[in-house]
């Protein structure tokens, strides 16, 4: 193995947030033509040795106590029991799971069998896994959480939660807020790398999956009190910029006089430059020289590159605004100055070898090595990604790096994660922190079962897809006669809110690892597991509360929940499982788990409402509070999945719907919540119109304009 060093002037660290100044698009640095035989490193102060930390990381502090999930609370109790019952057995972690059969209990502890295998021949008193399970029960500390425990099969400990404890927990959440149910995760700061389109290319349907899956993961982690760094690793560096810059010079001779040349169709601009590059030898030579000039830091070429990036950035931002997604841009160019030193660190570990003129890292079990320096001395995706990983570990102090891309890039991530582990940047045990995870997702298919494309077989542009969703929703609204009742602006806003939310949910409800078929008719249906159905179910709950004429905020303070009916208890139990569902979704990086939970909750509520009269019953107060608890949990799910476009969260508000009969005070209260000012209630709702509650809040910002304050009835479904 031959050794090498690298040389490059390292600039000050810069953070790019869209839309950044063009001066920050890329730090001005001196480029060195890299000779793979003789390269020299500088600026060591930016690159210290990476030390792997195996510590347990506490969650961020919050004003109110974070209770954690039921499984976490049960685990604490059973941990004490295991230590008391079997003090000589070390490192036994409680194995708590939802009970396989609800007839036997709510949860179960599955430690007895594995403990018995360790105790065989060492203990004369216990004669099998069932006595082990009995010993676990006998040593449980007293707790109001558990009503009873029993043994089933080969030592399974079935657990039934106390009905009073479930009710008390629901009431406490209604008062303290659902944030107290946030799961406790063993991580403090996370980087979520998602979306990441290429400069000069339009975002397509594949970017939709990366963008909304990444945004949802970020939201779930943020709810779990993890600091999330949302990163947009745009492709803004590479040899293709030579042809783009030269084509810009040819097409717009006075480009310097115009800060944003009227390139128009950016995708067409890219295709035309590529066609010219492939067919015109003189242009190709100039484009190759332009790459050298740009990388050498010549101001003219840097400015041209910056303009092209800025034009792309503005187009990307339009899409992000439509989707309600926030990202901080740190593209390939940001990390480019740091690549030489990162590679030197890898070389010092003995990882980099020469192979067929390139510099590579051989990965165990892989036939093809990971190329980090090409034959011509240039860098590539692997060198950039390794450097970005180092930067995120050392400069941004992240504990967990999450990369959201299509499954086709799985091998690339496996290889560069393996290289980082060999270098000691990441621990070999994937359960330890810091760690890196690839969140792969499948293809979006058309109804023909093939990759989703236009009729001309081109990739579907994301802008076109969103336009189509909005157009179909608008047509449905017009067919319902809403064009006569609403202003044109209200019609547009409502179509956007429903259309975009439906598209997001239709994607997120699928396991991300699988392909899914894109079907507008299904995703916009008001039946089955769709966004429209779920938002309708929420509006229905709000209508029940309104019909009671009771002040739900006062009921929270003075009322009590009593889950006497089996369907009441089942709904209450499932509501309490919200935290562990979010915890599991975060741990396994599977947003569809929240979608499944949300749909199941709506079905649980339907069963409860069918069998338990609410308004006018002797149990009205208790059941209204249970309705409110259901609405609060559903709203938080909507927020995590960003089905509402509301970035401020719900915070337990009575998120009700309003009509033209709503009072000024009701509208003012709802408006104050929509603007993020706290918990309010809204009571005056037309019972004949069950509508999508999110759209009400979406429209209230623009419709409350006079003292009379009229708000039209919205989308009856």
Give tens-digit pLDDT for 203-242: 888 899 999 999 999 999 999 999 999 999 999 988 888 8
Nearest to 631 by CA among 575, 677, 672: 575
**Predicted pLDDT at 455:** 60
Alpha-carbon Rg for the chain, nearest whole angstrom, is 29
Alpha carbon separation from 71 to 82, 203, 243, 425, 433 (Å, rounded): 16, 41, 57, 32, 22
Q: What is the pTM of this model?
A: 0.81
Fold held by 467-703: Isoleucyl-tRNA Synthetase; Domain 1 (1.10.730)
Q: Residue 257 is encoded by which pair of tokens? A: 């006089």
Fold held by 26-52+188-441: Rossmann fold (3.40.50)
Nearest to 669 by CA among 639, 636, 711, 629: 711
CA pair distance 534, 525, nearest whole angstrom: 11
* Mean local confidence (pLDDT), 121-135: 81
pLDDT at 433 over 90: yes
* Mean local confidence (pLDDT), 181-201: 94
Residue 204: strand pairing partners: 461
Give tens-digit pLDDT for 455-496: 655 778 888 889 999 999 899 888 888 888 888 888 888 888
Alpha carbon separation from 275 to 111, 262, 293, 682 (Å, rounded): 65, 20, 22, 60
Q: Which DSSP letter does residue 104 get?
A: T
CA pair distance 47, 31, nearest whole angstrom: 19
- Would you say 539 and 696 are in contact if contact means Cβ atoms under 8 Å apart? no
Model confidence at 454, pLDDT cuts 50, 70, 90, reads low
Q: Residue 66 is encoded by which pair of tokens? A: 């974070």
pLDDT at 697 over 70: no
Phi-psi region of 264 (alpha: psi -120 to 50; beta: other; left: phi over 0): left
CA dihedral 97, 101, 103, 104 (to 10 degrees): -50
* Mean local confidence (pLDDT), 144-167: 94
Other CB atoms within 10 A of residue 49 CB: 11
Q: Phi/psi of residue 267, each to 5°?
A: -65, -40
Which strand (E) or helix (H) includes residue 52? none
Model confidence at 711, pLDDT cuts 50, 70, 90, reads very low
- CA 686 to mean position of chain CA atoms: 36
Fold held by 70-166: Gyrase A; domain 2 (3.30.1360)
Spans of all domains in the chain: 26-52+188-441, 70-166, 467-703
Angle between helices 488-508 and 462-479 (to 10 degrees): 120
Contacts of 508 (CB under 8 A, 6+ apart): 212, 213, 216, 591, 592, 594, 595, 641
């Amino acid at each position: 193995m031959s050794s090498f060093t690298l040389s490059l002037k390292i600039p000050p660290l810069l953070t790019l947030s869209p839309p950044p100044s063009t001066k920050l698009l890329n730090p001005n640095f001196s480029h060195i033509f890299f000779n793979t035989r003789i390269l020299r490193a500088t600026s060591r102060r930016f690159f210290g040795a990476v030390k792997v930390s195996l510590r347990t990381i506490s969650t961020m502090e919050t004003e109110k106590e974070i209770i954690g999930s039921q499984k976490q609370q049960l685990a604490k109790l059973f941990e004490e029991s295991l230590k008391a019952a079997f003090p000589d057995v070390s490192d036994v972690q409680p194995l708590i799971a939802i009970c396989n059969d609800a007839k036997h209990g709510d949860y179960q502890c599955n430690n007895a069998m594995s403990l018995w295998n360790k105790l065989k021949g060492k203990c004369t008193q216990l004669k099998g896994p069932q006595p082990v399970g009995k010993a676990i029960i006998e040593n449980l500390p007293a707790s109001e959480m558990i009503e009873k425990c029993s043994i089933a099969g080969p030592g399974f400990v079935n657990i039934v939660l106390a009905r009073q404890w479930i009710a008390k927990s629901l009431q406490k959440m209604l008062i303290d807020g659902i944030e107290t149910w946030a799961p406790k995760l063993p991580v403090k700061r996370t980087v979520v790398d998602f979306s990441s389109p290429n400069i000069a290319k339009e975002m397509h349907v594949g970017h939709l999956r990366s963008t909304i899956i990444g945004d949802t993961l970020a939201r779930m982690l943020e709810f779990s009190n993890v600091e999330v760094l949302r990163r947009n690793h745009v492709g803004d560096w590479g040899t293709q910029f030579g042809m783009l810059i030269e084509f810009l010079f040819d097409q717009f001779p006075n480009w310097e006089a115009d800060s944003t040349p009227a390139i128009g169709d950016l995708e067409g601009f890219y295709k035309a430059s590529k066609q010219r590059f492939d067919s015109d030898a003189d242009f190709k030579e100039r484009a190759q020289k332009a790459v050298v000039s740009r990388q050498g830091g010549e101001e003219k070429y840097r400015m041209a590159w910056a303009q092209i990036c800025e034009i792309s950035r503005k187009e990307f931002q339009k899409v992000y605004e439509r989707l309600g997604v926030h990202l901080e841009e740190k593209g390939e160019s940001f990390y480019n100055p740091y690549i030489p030193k990162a590679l030197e660190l890898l070389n010092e570990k003995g990882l980099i070898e020469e192979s067929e003129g390139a510099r590579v890292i051989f990965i165990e079990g892989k036939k093809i090595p990971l190329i980090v320096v090409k034959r011509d001395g240039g860098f590539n995706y692997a060198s950039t990604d390794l450097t970005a990983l180092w930067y995120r570990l050392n400069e941004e102090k992240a504990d967990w790096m999450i990369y959201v891309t299509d499954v086709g890039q799985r091998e690339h991530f496996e290889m560069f994660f393996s290289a980082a582990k060999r270098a000691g940047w990441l621990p070999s045990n994937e359960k330890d922190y810091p760690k890196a995870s690839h969140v792969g997702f499948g293809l979006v298919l058309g109804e023909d079962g093939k990759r989703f494309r236009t009729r001309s077989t081109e990739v579907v542009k994301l802008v076109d897809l969103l336009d189509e969703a909005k157009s179909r929703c608008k047509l449905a609204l017009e067919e319902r006669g809403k064009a006569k009742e609403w202003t044109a602006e209200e019609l547009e806003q409502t179509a956007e809110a429903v259309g975009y939310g439906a598209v997001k949910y239709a994607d997120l409800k699928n396991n991300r690892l699988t392909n899914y078929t894109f079907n507008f008719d299904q995703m916009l249906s008001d039946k089955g597991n769709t966004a429209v159905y779920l938002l309708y179910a929420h509006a229905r709950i709000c209508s029940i509360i309104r019909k009671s004429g009771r002040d739900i905020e006062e009921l929270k303070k003075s009322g009590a929940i009593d889950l006497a009916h089996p369907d009441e208890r089942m709904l209450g139990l499932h509501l309490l499982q919200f935290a562990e569902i979010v915890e599991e979704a975060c741990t396994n990086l599977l947003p569809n788990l929240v979608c499944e939970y949300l749909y199941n909750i709506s079905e649980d509520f339907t069963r409860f409402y069918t069998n338990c009269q609410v308004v006018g019953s002797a149990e009205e107060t208790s059941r209204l509070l249970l309705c409110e608890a259901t609405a609060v949990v559903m709203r938080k799910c909507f927020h995590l999945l960003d089905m509402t476009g509301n970035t401020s969260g719900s915070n337990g508000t009575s998120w009700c719907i309003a009509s033209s009969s709503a009072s000024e005070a009701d509208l003012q209260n709802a408006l104050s919540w929509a603007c993020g000012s706290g918990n309010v209630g809204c009571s005056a709702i037309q019972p004949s119109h069950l509508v999508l509650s999110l759209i009400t809040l979406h429209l209230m910002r623009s419709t409350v304009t006079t003292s009379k304050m009229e708000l039209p009835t919205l989308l009856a479904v």
